[in-house]
């Protein structure tokens, strides 16, 4: 008796321009699912609410901090499209502005959440945009994103899901 394997769980990480926070979250999450041996259970991408950087690689500062932790950032920036609302089960935003933009664009509210909302140990709920700052801001967001991705993955792999 052959059974069809379940469809992969779609996770789309979203920030403003898709060159700093969301590609870093995509890379960290991909690294975590590979290490846990569950990569085949997920479809993971990132996108931005704006289109300014479409086609560009991640910011060099994001790539540098990722490389330091053994994470590769291979995606190129793209803008969120309406079809993403159906294609991805989880629309994971870096901040409330991104969440509001998605909801205003018609994203299903039950699929939209903040990356950091699942880690009760964090005092912040938004990943700040490091674009106009220095390298230290990218180190800070890496730490937040790593914790958020760990909590998200634990939640998605929980038996009751």
- At 131 the pLDDT is 87
pTM for this one?
A: 0.95
Please say whether the beta carbons of 41 and 9 come within 8 A: yes
Is 129 considered catalytic here?
yes
Q: Decide if 23 is inside a domain.
A: yes
In a domain, residue 135? The reply is yes
**Residue 15 known to be catalytic:** yes
What is the domain extent for residue 96? Answer: 9-157
Give the per-residue pLDDT at 58. Answer: 95
Q: Is residue 153 part of a domain?
A: yes
Q: For position 49, what pLDDT does the model report?
A: 97
Options 21, 61, 78, 99, the catalytic residue = 21
In a domain, 34, yes or no: yes
Catalytic residue among 15, 20, 31, 93: 15
Total domain count, the chain? 1
pLDDT < 70 positions in the chain = 1-5, 160-161
Residues with Cβ within 8 Å of residue 62, at least 6 apart in sequence: 19, 20, 21, 23, 24, 73, 138
Flag whether 47 is in a domain: yes
8 A C-beta contact, residue 48 and residue 18: yes
Rg (CA), the chain: 15
* pLDDT of 133: 85
Instruction: Specify the DSSP class assigned to residue 4.
Output: P
What's the CA gap between 6 and 88, in Å, rounded?
A: 14
66-71 LR contacts (CB < 8 Å, sep 24+): 66/24, 66/27, 66/28, 66/142, 69/28, 69/142, 69/146, 70/31, 71/24, 71/27, 71/28, 71/30, 71/31
Residue 4 inside a domain? The answer is no
pLDDT in tens, 89-117: 999 999 999 999 999 999 999 999 999 99
Identify whether 31 is a catalytic site residue: no
* pLDDT at residue 160, as a whole number: 55
CATH number of the domain within which 20 lies: 3.40.50.2300
2 found inside a domain: no
The single residue of 59, 84, 95, 129 carrying the catalytic annotation is 129
| 49 falls within a domain | yes
């Amino acid at each position: 008796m052959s059974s069809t394997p379940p469809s992969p769980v779609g996770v789309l990480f979203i920030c403003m321009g898709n060159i700093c926070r969301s590609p870093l979250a995509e890379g960290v999450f991909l690294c975590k699912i590979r290490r846990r041996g569950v990569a085949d259970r997920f479809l993971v991408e990132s996108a931005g609410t704006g289109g300014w950087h479409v086609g560009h690689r991640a910011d060099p500062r994001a790539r540098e901090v990722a490389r330091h932790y053994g994470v590769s950032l291979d995606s190129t920036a793209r803008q969120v499209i309406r079809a993403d609302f159906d294609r991805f089960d989880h629309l994971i935003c870096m901040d409330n502005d991104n969440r509001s933009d998605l909801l205003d664009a018609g994203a299903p509210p039950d699929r939209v959440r903040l990356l950091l909302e699942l880690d009760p140990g964090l005092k912040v709920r938004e990943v700040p945009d490091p674009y106009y700052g220095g390298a230290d801001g990218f180190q800070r967001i890496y730490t937040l994103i790593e914790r958020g991705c760990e909590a998200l993955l634990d939640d998605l792999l929980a038996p009751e899901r």
